[in-house]
Structure 1
């Protein structure tokens, strides 16, 4: 498959009044295949929005190259890159109708009126806003405004679509609905897309691939499943979903020790080696009463309908455990429990 967007060793520095020269983005290399949706995910200040703005042309890199559809656009103006951009605050023109907001880019391009009417009608139908042409932005809900912004971004059939935290201003229910609509639309039109968010669940729900960023660099990229079950670092493990990180020592080819307790696990490491084990909350089961094997004590129970969350004191570590079903309801705070680790879900971090 051909590459729609390629970043080659891209860096961006800013002068900070207190810190001096600061790298917002450092040596980022990334490829997005045609038709893929790749999400830049990370905490505030990690460089994801700056990276997106460099792809768009709103910021110019200090080093490296940006290619769109095989063409070097590193120093090309935004309006000549063939991109559609959906802003966090929608950036709709308040004095223009829905039709005119969507038609604006086509008018700037000098399209004839018949082509504009046809294109706007088609895209409004695509985003579920047929019949809204005469409405003003202030008459629309937040979700409807977001769909107008999306329609405006895709109406001129750009090569690339860019999203900068587009759902952050919506309530939880509407965010869920809109992310499903964005994903469905992106797949339907097959447009190469880069999406920025700090919301892990949002990224996992919509992305073909995710690039996790920290302090200006991409620290790991892959599918949501890869990042969730096979994180390279503790940062990625803790940022993608909830997790437990256990410091362990290899006892033998089939045993490791953590928190003074032995667990049957073939680590492939040498006796005496130290390592960090990642185990997700759903990979742990609890049984009331102490017995052979690792033991702990329930500290907190949170009932969440289809599942129950537990905080379990395990030596000097507080384990997060998630269980479902009626059997889990019998486990109450201060209950002594035997901890059953599903070692098939263990993952050894490459780095600490």
Structure 2
């Protein structure tokens, strides 16, 4: 099989492509290598992938519809794993146009390419942020998600609705994955674990919002990739022969962890205390996330399970090696 992975130089895209290559699949990865965060890290991920058999990289922006359509025309894909997007809740407050282009126009282009070239399965990244101000816990894929609290969340919900309409109209089969606070080796520098680790090793304070009264369903990257690996072989079932289907899954550990406990784990892994700078809640943030993963477990018999202490320890080991600290 040849699988297309968009956003392949990103955190989840890199790990997904590596797993696919190690499983013996041919992978074409595309990425625009934008400078939202350190491009050196993105290129280092690509260097790792280029050592694997079956991997090929094309620098491309999903907003460029003619280039994307040409890629699909020249290379048939059995599956598409769409992970390219403009990430970050806070960045969306000041840069809305970037999100509209990448997350809306770009995703529409991917759907159009799939419509015309018919891969067997489209897997696309959504986000736990779609739950917005929902107070019912844990978050279920059956819950209404009508009140996003950030533009980023709104674009991800829009992706789910676009996929639903394309599956209905054109018979596509798609799975939308609502990721819950992904962390681990090769992670993004704008995420809390990366920022905290960098600051602590430099002897700087770490900013802890809402006075630390926050909790996240932290999900280790290996659990994310295992979920994708299992789901890609099981497209959603349509109600009628030849019809399409769009199914949503929460991808989380199903166990919210207090932010302060997360910091405790990082202190233990680094062997040093953090200087904690407590701040108010930021615009666009939610206080707590908690995934109901029963849909995932029922569909592919898997439940993310890596404990936070182990995952944080693995990240710290990678960070010290990568930055030679």
TM-score under structure 2 normalisation?
A: 0.28
Higher helix proportion, which one? 2
Higher strand proportion, which one? 1
* Greater relative contact order, per chain length (Cα 8 Å cut-off, separation 6+): 2
| Higher-Rg member (1/2) | 1
TM-score under structure 1 normalisation?
A: 0.26
